[in-house]
Amino acid sequence: MFIVSYLIRAYRANTYEHEPYIYGSVRIEEIALAKHVSGSELPSHATGGDLAEGLQQVHLGTIKTRKPIGVPLKERIRRHRELYILFIPVAIVYIVFRYWEIGLGFVAVFKEMRIGQGLWESPWVGMRNFQMIFENPNVVRTIRNTIEISLYRLFWGFAPPIILAVVFHDMVWMRFKRISQTLVYLPHFFSWVVIYGIVFALFSTGTGFVNVLLENLGFQRIEFLLSTRWFRPILIGSDIWKTMGWGSILYMAALTNVDPGLYEAAVIDGAGPLKRIRHISIPSILPVIAFVLTLTIGNILRAGGEQILIFYNEAVFEVADVIETWVVRVGLGRFQFGVGIAVGLFQSVVGLILIVIGNYISRRVAGRGIW
């Protein structure tokens, strides 16, 4: 993705570097020159209205009627053929391993997948796979659990990476900072099986550290892993512990781009640490926060099925069964692959709608969005 982004930026920069744009009858270069160079003569073909309106739009940064002049597409391709050649392998990878799979998924949604017959020989069933999803008596419970767990993750897990990044950014003792960063990044590389082993060692009823401590203090043991009351807090807490450090890297990268002179000026003006965080650090990373929040909202129907499959059991089935675990039981356990693919398509469509809505709200509230 970084390669694709770089190529797109380079293409845009090279394509429009020597191609002027017009606003009304005034070129953007001439407007910028008239704005920044005092005493410069105005273009002879410019009317007063064009120049005034153009200057206002340049100042506000809201020019939307830019139009390239005179360079056909074939000429641009010839001029920047190296970029297009570099982009060919990336395009092939995405077409073969992404878009082709999406096309096959759309076909499989409307078929009754049979292993012996393959995709193309399996019979067409129309919308029956979707009917099986929404006619299932457990689908309401699974969707409710999925949304609840996802909202818990968002509410409790969104702020800790931001707080951690701000703390690391303001930390002065570099050796302690490096050690702390290593310790909080390390859980990201543990698999969920290892994480569950740690959780079991802490909260198991028999030999768990927490229960042994409670018993020594005179309290009764608690069946944390078998309790519908405690299952979700343990699930969310272990997820925050695993992902908090790694999630702070993005915010740390954004904070490194903040001009240190802003903090120095704030200190001279008497601003304390909290005010510097409130008025400098948080506003500086607000675009990144909006970006991450929008993507997180798009995954509201994905509650972390891998973790739940390892953590849950029959005792907590009522509060732990989510869409992903339901798909594993129905799609793989009963070999109803079409139903599983239909659920994936449903999740993707809902996620896309939520991302579009979240991006719209972000642009209206924060002034920035994903696009």
16 lies in some domain = no
- Nearest Cα neighbor of 318 from 130, 131, 149 is 149
Residue 166 near residue 277 (C-beta atoms within 8 A): yes
Burial level of 211, CB count in 10 A (0-12/13-18/19+)? buried
Residue 251 near residue 165 (C-beta atoms within 8 A): yes
Token reading at 215: 């018993």
Token reading at 253: 């990268």
4 lies in some domain = no
79 lies in some domain = no
Per DSSP, the three-state class of 98 is: helix
160 lies in some domain = yes
Tell me, what's the pLDDT at 22? Answer: 40
> How many Cα atoms are found within 13 Å in the side-chain-facing hemisphere of 264?
3
Tell me, what's the pLDDT at 166? Answer: 93
CA–CA distance from 355 to each of 292, 300, 349 (Å)? 11, 10, 10
Collect all residues with Cβ–Cβ distance below 8 Å to 186 and sequence separation of at least 6: 245
Per the structure, how many domains does the chain have?
1
CATH code where residue 282 lies: 1.10.3720.10
47 lies in some domain = no
Collect all residues with Cβ–Cβ distance below 8 Å to 45 and sequence separation of at least 6: 25, 26
42 lies in some domain = no
- Nearest Cα neighbor of 248 from 159, 164, 158, 155 is 164
163 lies in some domain = yes
252 lies in some domain = yes
Range of the domain at 161: 131-365
324-337 in b/e form (b: 16+ CB < 10 A) is: bbbbeebbeeeebb
Nearest-angstrom CA–CA distance, 58 and 56: 6
Nearest-angstrom CA–CA distance, 246 and 302: 19
Residue 244 near residue 184 (C-beta atoms within 8 A): yes
Per-residue pLDDT of the chain (371 residues; tens, 9 = 90+): 444 444 445 445 444 444 344 434 344 444 444 444 444 444 444 444 444 444 444 444 444 444 445 678 888 888 888 888 998 999 999 999 888 888 888 888 888 877 777 778 888 888 888 888 888 888 889 999 999 999 999 999 999 999 999 999 988 888 998 999 999 999 999 999 999 999 999 998 888 899 999 999 988 889 999 989 999 999 999 999 999 999 999 999 999 988 889 898 999 988 888 999 999 999 989 889 988 999 899 889 888 888 999 998 888 988 999 999 988 888 777 777 888 888 888 888 899 999 999 888 888 877 777 87
